[in-house]
Amino acid sequence: MLIVLTGIDGSGKTTAAHALVDSARAEGRNALLLSNHAGRRHLSLLSARLNLHLQPWFADFVETGIRVFNVLINHARASSAARKFDGLVVMDRHLHCQLALRQANGLGRGRLIPWLLGKLPAPDLMIHFDVDPRVAHDRVMARGTDKESLADLQAFRAAYRSLPEFDEFLVVDANGTPDDVLARLNRAMAAAEPARV
């Protein structure tokens, strides 16, 4: 089973991805976690350190290249894992994240990412972590490893919701503690399971 998690920064995707995989392994099931990062955090930290203002199109060019590379490599790994074991594969982020970032920055969808989405194997579940941008902003500030403005997070959330693919996402309320969010995620997955059979 392949699950993809999406959501704005601070929505708890990575925490939940680790928890899902750890929980599956604790139950004796096979599970694999794959991260489709775009280097966005490192790029923003580097530009802040060097006091550079990167144009949105340039940042998108770099991030798209990194994310596409990671997605392709991880789909190959997921395919290999599917042949080796019957278990859970969780992808933290995907190409939809880049489409939402582009939308938030006023850039077009382009052709490459929509084309790739049409060619890559569809996940069994696309799960979107929906969170109040103010809650997400507090979480980002608390972890202290990167910076996001509240306005950027609000735009990012709106961009996700404007994606044509959003109607296909299973939306989970990501406000609350990590345990609360994981419980909601498990309930949502259990409720969606009969529909897939």
Span 95-104, average pLDDT = 96
Phi-psi sector, 153: left (phi>0), alpha (psi -120 to 50), beta: alpha
pLDDT at position 194 is: 55
Total domains, the chain = 1
Beta strands in the chain (DSSP E): 2-7, 31-35, 88-92, 125-130, 170-173
Neighbour count for residue 160 (Cβ, 10 Å): 26
Tell me which residue range forms the domain holding 134: 2-196
Angle among Cα 178, 155, 89 to the nearest 5 degrees reads 40
Span 55-84, average pLDDT = 91
Q: Is the separation of the CB atoms in 14 and 7 below 8 Å?
A: no
**Of 8 and 51, more confident:** 8
Residue 42's pLDDT band, with cuts at 50, 70 and 90, is low
Residue 197's pLDDT band, with cuts at 50, 70 and 90, is very low
Helices (H), 85-125: 95-104, 112-119
Cα separation of 25 and 31, whole Å?
6
Kindly tell me if the per-residue pLDDT of 52 is higher than 90. Answer: no
Cα separation of 43 and 145, whole Å?
12
Span 161-178, average pLDDT = 95
% of the chain beyond a pLDDT of 90: 73
Q: CATH code at 60?
A: 3.40.50.300
Q: Is the separation of the CB atoms in 140 and 152 below 8 Å?
A: no
The Cα-based distances of 104 to 25, 97, 100, 183 in angstroms read 37, 11, 6, 30
The Cα-based distances of 93 to 5, 55, 128 in angstroms read 5, 23, 10
What pairing do the DSSP bridges indicate for beta strands 125-130 and 31-35? unpaired
Q: Is the separation of the CB atoms in 89 and 3 below 8 Å?
A: yes
pLDDT at position 138 is: 95
Kindly tell me if the per-residue pLDDT of 11 is higher than 60. Answer: yes
pLDDT at position 195 is: 55
- Residue 41 token pair: 């955090």
pTM (two decimals): 0.89
Span 124-130, average pLDDT = 96
